Amino acid sequence: MRLLITGGAGFIGSNFIRYLIGPDNPWRPDWEIINLDKLTYAGNLENLADLAHQKNYQFIKGDICDGQLVKQILETGIDAIINFAAESHVDRSLYEPDVFLKTNVIGVQVLLHAAMHHNVHKFIQISTDEVYGSLKPDAPGFREDTPLAPNSPYSASKAAADLLVRSYFKTYNFPAVITRCSNNYGPYQFPEKLIPLFITNALENKPLPVYGDGLNVRDWIHVEDHCRAILYVLEKGVAGEIYNIGGQGEKTNLEITEMILDLLQKPRSLIRFVTDRPGHDRRYAIDFSKIKRELGWSPTYQLADGLRQTVDWYLKNEDWWRRIKSGVYRDFYQKHYQDRLK
């Protein structure tokens, strides 16, 4: 298998590459991986430093919107593409929606067009449960046929990409698949997202900024469970299908915050409630019965165990996250969080 991973230096992409060919229990050690990543602020080659000299791993710095570069890569012969490349932080999409549209929509179209003309056998678009919008408290989880109702520029850009992928299957019979996953957590997650931000802030005895009343609900999945699901979809998924991927880990943001503080033995007084962000979806929940029934996948991590493992990783990799938080992220945090603390 010769596999093009786009956005492979980011959180989920780098974990997926490590899952396939990394030194710790690799699942497909003989596969050849090409990692195409623009290395924006959240792309970090340090995540894959121990793979840099492997013969079956190659990194190419570049943008998925660069059609000529994508064409040159595909001309070398690619069996499948998994597109992780995306601007992904909802908060940033409120301030820079144009960046999200360029990467998340135009970039996907460039990949699809090139892949179709170079006989790529499977294209997997990594999407999100946020395209479905918000659930009422007692409503059943999102199904693959739940209507799309995105409520942020980020989720709207991902929904647009999903529709493009669907159109290439319907119009050209191109072998594309869409996966929609719930909130990921685990090692190497950039510390702008809730769990790594709150872990690292707590370690520094800094406030943990909880939006609104903290009762927004998310379904949490360990990134390794997500990686395993993507491998199932790559090897067994049916072209034209959508597969929801969930972790059976529904918690309010406040519950997650308190779990982190308890694991670190930090006081609840570090919690600071801040003004809610515009369009903040109240609840997400995933019905993953389709991928369980058709492909045999289900999550293995219990949230409490996975969160404990994640906290341990950030404790053991302090240099990694301190380098990040002392740089570009610090400026964004100060601009968009500090002035909202009550």
pLDDT by residue (tens digit) across 152-203?
999 999 999 999 999 999 999 999 999 999 999 999 999 989 999 999 999 9
Helix (H, G, I), strand (E, B) or coil at 73: helix
Examine residue 211 and state whether it is found in any structural domain, yes or no.
no
Distance from C-alpha of 162 to C-alpha of 154, rounded to nearest angstrom? 13
b/e string for 197-235 if b means 16 or more Cβ within 10 A? bbbbbbbeeebbbbbeebebbbbbbbbbbbbbbbbbbbe
- For residue 313, give the nearest of 321, 301, 323, 303 by alpha carbon: 321
Q: What is the mean pLDDT of the chain?
A: 94
Residue 342, pLDDT score: 41
Residue span of the structural domain in which 89 resides? 2-189+220-250+283-301
User: pLDDT confidence of 94, banded at 50, 70, 90?
Assistant: confident
pLDDT digits (tens, 9 = 90+) for 38-91: 998 888 999 999 999 999 999 999 999 999 999 999 999 999 999 999 987 787
Distance from C-alpha of 16 to C-alpha of 148, rounded to nearest angstrom? 27
CATH of the domain at 124: 3.40.50.720
Distance from C-alpha of 153 to C-alpha of 159, rounded to nearest angstrom? 10
Residue 41, pLDDT score: 81
Largest CA distance in the chain: 57
User: pLDDT confidence of 315, banded at 50, 70, 90?
Assistant: very high
The residue length of the chain stands at 342
Residue 328, pLDDT score: 55
Residue 96, pLDDT score: 87
Examine residue 316 and state whether it is found in any structural domain, yes or no.
no
Examine residue 182 and state whether it is found in any structural domain, yes or no.
yes
Q: Per-residue pLDDT for 333 more than 60?
A: no
Q: Count up the domains in the chain and report the number.
A: 1
Q: Per-residue pLDDT for 337 more than 80?
A: no
Q: What is the mean pLDDT of residues 103-109?
A: 97
Cα 197 → chain centroid? 15
Examine residue 215 and state whether it is found in any structural domain, yes or no.
no
Examine residue 290 and state whether it is found in any structural domain, yes or no.
yes
Q: Per-residue pLDDT for 28 more than 50?
A: yes
* Catalytic position from the list 132, 154, 314, 329: 154
User: pLDDT confidence of 18, banded at 50, 70, 90?
Assistant: very high
Residue 277, pLDDT score: 87
Examine residue 312 and state whether it is found in any structural domain, yes or no.
no
Examine residue 321 and state whether it is found in any structural domain, yes or no.
no
Residue 335, pLDDT score: 55
Q: Per-residue pLDDT for 274 more than 90?
A: yes
* Catalytic position from the list 32, 87, 129, 281: 129
Residue 140, pLDDT score: 96
User: What residues are paired with 3 via a beta bridge?
Assistant: 33, 80
213 assigned to active site: no
* Catalytic position from the list 37, 130, 224, 281: 130
Examine residue 205 and state whether it is found in any structural domain, yes or no.
no
- For residue 300, give the nearest of 177, 139, 186 by alpha carbon: 186
